[in-house]
Amino acid sequence: MTLLAVTNPATLEIVGHVPDQGEAEARKAVDRAAAAAGGWRDVAPRERAEMLRRVYENLMLSRDDLVRLITAENGKATADALAEVGYAAEFFRWFAEEAVRTDGSYGTAPAGGVRSVVTARPVGIAALVTPWNFPAAMATRKLAPALAAGCTVVLKPAAETPLTALAIADLVREAGVPGGVVNVVTTTDPATVVGAWLADPRVRKVSFTGSTGVGKVLLHQAADRVLNTSMELGGNAPFVVTEDADLPAAVAGAMVAKFRNGGQACTAANRFLVHRDVAGDFVVRLGAEVEKLSVGAAADGCQIGPLISAAAVSRVRTKVDAAVAAGARITHRAALPDLPGHFYPPTVLTDVPPGADLVREEIFGPVASVLTWSTEADLLAAANDTEYGLAGYVFAGDLQRAIRLGEALDAGMVGINRGLVSDPSAPFGGVKQSGLGREGARDGLREFQETQYLAVDWS
C-alpha cells in the first residue's frame, strides 16, 4: 500500500504516515456507511446524544495528545492548538444537546378533515471534506451534527493534516458509536476520492470547507445528482475601526482577528479599514504588538507558527511584494526564527492600493493591510467591494453605530467590538461566494436533515 508522509511545516520533519487511498477505498467507505446507515438512523435520539456527549468527554481527556498531533502536522502554536481542541470538542457537547430536539409540527389543514404531521429525518450518507487549517474543529463541526441527525458519514481530511481526523474517529468509536458510522479516507488524490462519492447514488449530502474555486467545482458535480450541499468557502473580511473606537481594544481585537493561527483562517481580517483621523495611532499601536510576536515552532513556545507549505509562503510573499511595488509601505514586522520551516514574518502595511491583490484576494497569512476612509459611504463601498461575504469586524465607540455598520456589511457573521466570531452555538457561514448553508447552532443540525410531511385522513 502506498503511504502518505505527514510533515511538520515548522521543522520539515516527517511525523507520521497514513495510507494514500484512492477510488476503491472511497467506494468501500461508502459500503461501510451504507451497511451501518439503517441501524444508526434507528438509534433513539437520547442514545445518540449520550454517545456524542461521551465523544466530547473523550476529546477533552485526550486534549494534550490532540494538541501534540495538531502542532506536529499543522505547525500552529500550542495556545492556538489548545483553543482549537476546546472549540472542536464543544461541537460534540452542543450537538449532543441538540440531538434530542429535532423539529416537527402537527396541525389541522384549513379545509378540515386532514391532519398534517411534519417531521425531520436524516438526509442520508454524508460526504464530509475538511481543510488543513483547523484539522480538529473543521472535522467535528461537520461530524457532530451529522451524527446527531442520524447520518452515517465518509470523511476526507486534508492530505497535510490527516492524523488528527484519524485520532478523532478513534475517539468516536471509543464512545460507543458503531463501526461504519464514521469512515475516514486519507488521500493525495482528493478529486478522485470525492468524485467517487459524489457519483455514488447512496451518498445524499456533501459538506465542504475550503476554497471558493474548489467549492464551485463540487457544486457543479453535485448538480448532476441534485445533491444536498453545504459550502463553507473563502473570505475577505473587513476590519472596520471608527474615529471614536477604543483603540487599545481595537488593536487587541485585531491581533486575534488577524493573527490567530498565523492568519490562516477563513474568518481572518483581510483588510483593515481605519478612519483617517486615527489611522496613524492605530498603525503604531498595532505595529508595536506585531513586532513583539514570537515566530517559530510550537515546541519552542512560539506565538505564531509556520504557514502550511512553501507554496503558501510564496503566494503571500508575491502579494506583498506586488503591493509594495505599487506604493504600499511595510511599517512593522516580527523577526523570523532560524528554522527550515515555511515561515513568513507577521507584517503591517500602509498605503496599500485598493486594487492590490493583497486586499482583493484572501491572504491566508500573517499580513495586515491598512487602508483609510473618511465617510461611511466610502467605508461601506470599500468593505462590500468583494465577491466574498463570510465575516467582518466593527470597532466603534458608539454601540448603536457599530451595530448599524455591522448590519450594512455583506457578511454572514460580524464581530462587534470583538475579534472572534466563531461559536458552536451560533450559525457559522457566509453570503455571496463565501458559501451556502450554516454550521453550528440549530442550523447545523438542519443541514443534515430533510423535512417529511404526512397528510393524515381524519374524516
Q: Which residues are catalytic?
A: 232, 266
Q: What amino acid occupies position 335? A: A
DSSP label at residue 178: P
Cα–chain-centroid distance for residue 314? 23
Grid coordinates of 248: 487599545
Q: What is the DSSP string of 389-435?
A: ESEEEEE-SSHHHHHHHHHHSS-SEEEES-S----TTS-B--EETTE
Alpha helices in 45-187 (DSSP H): 45-61, 63-73, 78-98, 137-149, 162-174
Q: How many CB atoms lie within 10 A of CB 45?
A: 15
Q: By the 8 A CB rule, do 139 and 155 touch? A: yes
Q: What is the DSSP string of 344-395?
A: ---EEEES--TTSHHHHS---SSEEEEEEESSHHHHHHHHT-SSEESEEEEE
Give the separation between CA 366 and CA 306, rounded to whole angstroms: 10
Element (H, E) at 252: helix 247-259
Grid coordinates of 31: 459500503
**How many helices (DSSP H) and strands (DSSP E) are in the chain?**
15, 20
Give the separation between CA 153 and CA 143, rounded to whole angstroms: 8
Which residues lie closer than 8 Å to 62 by C-beta, 6 or more apart?
167, 171
